[in-house]
Structure 1
Amino acid sequence: MTVDKMRFAVLTKAKVAEVHERPLPEMDENQILIKQEACNICTTDYGQWLGLREHQPYPMAGGHEGAGVIVKKGSKVRDDLNIGDRVAVTYGYCGECGPCKSGATSECTQYESGPTEDGYYGNFGFADYCVRDSRVLIKMDKGLSASEASFLEPLATVAKGLRKLRIKPLETVVVIGAGTMGVVNAQAARAYGCRVIITEVMEEKIKAAKSMGFEVINANECDPVEKVKALTNGEGADAVVVAVGITRANEQALDMVKRVEGRILLFAAGYPAPKLEIDSNYIHYKKLELIGTYGADMQDFVISAKLLNERRVDVSKLIQATYPLDKIQEAYGEASKPGSYRVSVLL
């Protein structure tokens, strides 16, 4: 087929999302033309739309939680990727630098992330067609909806965090926050064989988490720290995932974790930046681990695809609404409402 243009969403300034058109880049022998089906709006996307991430440049042709169908492939693309396959997108990387060779592809030192020749920043996730390097694509089960397949990237970031957290079957993991990423963390930890407890304050999210079969603590009705201790015979959690970027969540995590050799994963960022007040003696004597995580490496994307394709993680209830590309402004408005789950833009 012949496609020579792409239509895509772009943020031109805070609270303004538009649909632009540009020539489609030419493919090389290692690239693939994708008819993109869906791209979900993540916290980073709507944070910039709200004007909370003004350190990110404009015009931002963002979107990185996307999936689509292969319509054309270069002559040197590997044999397991074929026309008609559904694929989801990972991060770009060179495969040759030191971090890439060590497996830390998210820390690639060579991958270009600057503006295009026509001045756009971003991954062009909210585009009807896009040319991608074949190395950044992973095949997804066609039984998943495109919006579900688009969870490859967020679930991969969870897989990386849990890999760093080193959770083991039968451990008790507390997830603070039942937003989209809190629930994805909880589902993944449960798939790994852990007992999972979620704490939350918003009634709708409490109901949603309970409907997914989780133990949920309503932090409006009790002290979540004391409740966690009561549910663990006074011991506290083996590990805590802080999935909401606020100071109070950081404070609770320090008190919820078990007395010795507990682990805390600081999964969520917050704007303005949350505080974490703790003295080094506390960490020293409790042998406490404070673990940071951000992004995902290729090994995490592979794990994420397995979890989604085999239905070990079910994200179907996390798709709150869908919008066509031409209603991108309304889609951002819906995604930025407090308490929202994922809004998916259908392309």
Structure 2
Amino acid sequence: MVRCDDQKERLLEDLTGSYSGEPKVIPIVGMGGIGKTTLAKEVYYHESILRHFDVRAWAIVSEQHNIKEILLSLLQSTIKMDDTVKTKGEAELEDMLQKSLKRKRYLIVLDDIWSCEVWDGVRRCFPTEDNAGNRILLTTRNNEVARDAGTENLSMQMNFMDQDESWNLFKSAAFSNEALPSEFETIGKKITEKFHGLPLTIVVVAGLVKSKRAIEDWESVVKDVTSFITNDPDEQCSHVLGLSYNHLTSNLKTCLQHFGIFPEDGEIPANKLMRTWMAEGFLQLENDLEGEAEKWLQELVDRCLVLVCKKSLDGTKIRSCKVHDLIYDLCIREIQRENIFIMNDIVLGVSGSESLYLSMQKMHPFKRVTVDKIDYCPYGLYRALLTLYIIS
């Protein structure tokens, strides 16, 4: 995504400038889809940051946070991990993280913090003595988190793109390196004017029209977009994502829905994702299921609905991917609407033997069930079951 160079330069300066005392905390604040994580990644991998810090670690927090998982994510970058580390409790992991960061200049990124409670839960894990030059970078939608966590005067508020930035982003997403036909420019600019400079909506609509080379198709998108114009960027973003989703074929919709069975904001191995598609039985080329699955994943990427995290060494295959958290929310809404059952929605009880079981309060004929453990599953729950996912 396009992002103002002055914001990036200011952030690089704040991260590498001289400072003494406790670790300097820099929040990046803004609504969902405005580019907070993109900006954080740009500086995290910047050559000046690579030279400046001894240790860099990144953890995705998200709304459904888990302190232990956050600690494990950070430790992956600070120590040599083995299977025994994952069996340790929070207190032990906190101690390990403290020791691994002591007397080192570190940069910690905590991406997508939703509440002050989460910040309070992890802040004690970072050493505060003899560590001049350390930085903690947060991304959050919550101004209260920024005020509570941030070092004074260092909070960075993300601004909406201006019209030129919006157009450049749309053009690069819709046409990549292709020359833009002049007749499309006027319509393309009409489209970008509708989106209040919110990067995610611009990119998603660009993905919607990039395969369309008829002027009538672009005019149709302008008409669709104009029909739900609102002054609320959050509401408009939701409408735009819904529009892009509704333009998918039924099979591509099902493929996208499957992102909702994985943890929010998590990086998903592409082969694991595609195996879930194959298990559903809706892929059509029986002699080349993997090839068809790869083609569909690439189409979701081309439509700017899926983000590529890692590729094969030769750059020809997607190794891992994820979706933006607003698209993840869309997936959850759709799978709930179509009676696909997600672990977070299951009412759990504890039996006398302390084992978890599926509550009888949720007796519905679901097509797919996603859980991390089943000790008992009543017949009424699985009589319409197509697929069972056990996520460990």
Could you state the TM-score of these two structures normalised by the residue count of structure 1?
0.30
Specify which structure has the higher proportion of strand: 1
Taking structure 2 as the reference length, what is the TM-score of the superposition?
Answer: 0.27
- The answer to which structure has the higher helix fraction is 2
More relative contact order in 1 or in 2 (CA 8 Å, sep 6+)? Answer: 1
